[in-house]
Amino acid sequence: MFLPYYAVPACGWWWYQTVDRNETTVREPDSILGWRNKEGIYAIPPYVRGGEAIHYTVLGHGRRATGRVNRADREKLVLVGGSFTQGWAISDWETYPWKLQEHYPTIEVLNYGTGGYGTYQSLLVLEQELPRLERPALVIYGFFAHHEVRNVADDEWLRILSSYSRRAHVAVPYGTVDGEGRLIRHAPEQYLQLPFRERLATVAYIEKMYMRVTAHQRGEHKRIVTELILREMSRLCARYGATFMVAMLNAEDDTYPHYKAFLETIHVPVIDCNYPLTEEMRVQGEGHPNGRMNTLWADCIQKSLDSSALLNVHGD
């Protein structure tokens, strides 16, 4: 395939993101989920000079610590979602799942949030974990507007994942919709990687054009695919006797009202925790929500749960 020189942007060869150059790898590949959190105890260097290290604890099945020993006899509050739920770039005790556990000592809070996950990967986690759990009373999915794009794995999302591949998340499972409006599941897929991509702009351009042809149009169906996945999550939770709720953590423009209206039609409660992610609510030097934002989210979810009385917070 001949490409004229003017079709290749200057300095357009492939390059990797460097924000994670000093981070410990806390992910590992997974043939179904694409990647998962790797069990271990980690100390991630601070993102700014003079900052504090981030203490990060991953238990079995990719679950982040919430400060409580596993108790099979306790009701379970299960949390799934992406990096906002996981608590990327902050220590264990700063995350909103940890703060919820402190507020509800008689139940067990399980945090399966994983950086980069969308709604579809959260569904796959629930399909693996709910059969293993005793007494799953409530499942809360932490929604972030960008999950729509992740659910269909369009070309731009695959490119971003590949550029952060030192974090060990490259291939991503995704969904599409067939002609009859049904969800079609797809195994993990990754961005095309050709030899000499870091040296030749032409190679990087070929990769980009190939992915645009094969994956770009999937983005047109991101909203209907996300709705289908949310239906599946609700049905799955009901099958295991758990109430399903969606916490809106960050949804811009028309995203929040759209999904709020949709979730009402399928009788899924919505917790409105959609606070602006301003500079003072971000981790300095990194950009993810900080401990202050996680406190707001924890208080918001707690208030909703206390008013609904869905949990046996007084124990048996």
Parse the chain into domains and list their residue ranges: 22-308
The DSSP code sequence of 207-248 is HHHHHHHHHGGGGGGHHHHHHHHHHHHHHHHHHTT-EEEEEE
Please check whether residue 282 is in contact with residue 295, taking contact to mean a CB–CB distance below 8 angstroms.
no
Partners of residue 78 on adjacent β-strands: 110, 139
Q: Give tens-digit pLDDT for 249-260.
A: 999 789 999 999
Residue (of 38, 303, 35, 68) closest to 169 by Cα position: 35
pLDDT value, residue 95: 98
Please check whether residue 109 is in contact with residue 77, taking contact to mean a CB–CB distance below 8 angstroms.
yes
The DSSP code sequence of 17-80 is --TTTTPPP-EEEETTTEEEEPSEEEEEPPSSTT-PPEEEEE-GGGPBP-S----TTS-EEEEE
pLDDT value, residue 310: 78
| The pLDDT of residue 6 is above 70 | no
Cα atoms in the 13 Å half-sphere on the side-chain side of 265: 9
Measured distance CA(75)–CA(33) in Å, rounded: 26
| The pLDDT of residue 12 is above 90 | no
pLDDT value, residue 4: 33
Residue with token string 């006797």: 241
Residues 6+ apart with CB under 8 A from 82: 113, 114, 115, 116, 117, 118, 122, 142, 144, 146, 147, 150
Q: How many CB atoms lie within 10 A of CB 69?
A: 5
Arithmetic mean of pLDDT over the chain? 89
The confidence band for 134, taking pLDDT boundaries of 50, 70 and 90, is very high
Q: Give tens-digit pLDDT for 153-192.
A: 999 999 888 887 654 557 999 999 999 999 999 999 999 8
Measured distance CA(50)–CA(233) in Å, rounded: 43
pLDDT value, residue 203: 86
Please check whether residue 75 is in contact with residue 108, taking contact to mean a CB–CB distance below 8 angstroms.
yes
Q: Give tens-digit pLDDT for 189-231.
A: 999 888 887 788 888 888 889 889 998 999 999 999 999 999 9
Percent of the chain with pLDDT over 70: 89
Cα atoms in the 13 Å half-sphere on the side-chain side of 40: 11
CATH T-level fold of 22-308: Rossmann fold (3.40.50)
Residue (of 287, 250, 252, 254) closest to 271 by Cα position: 250
Helices and strands (H, E) in the chain, number of each type? 9, 11
Measured distance CA(207)–CA(193) in Å, rounded: 7
| The pLDDT of residue 2 is above 80 | no
Q: How many CB atoms lie within 10 A of CB 214?
A: 13
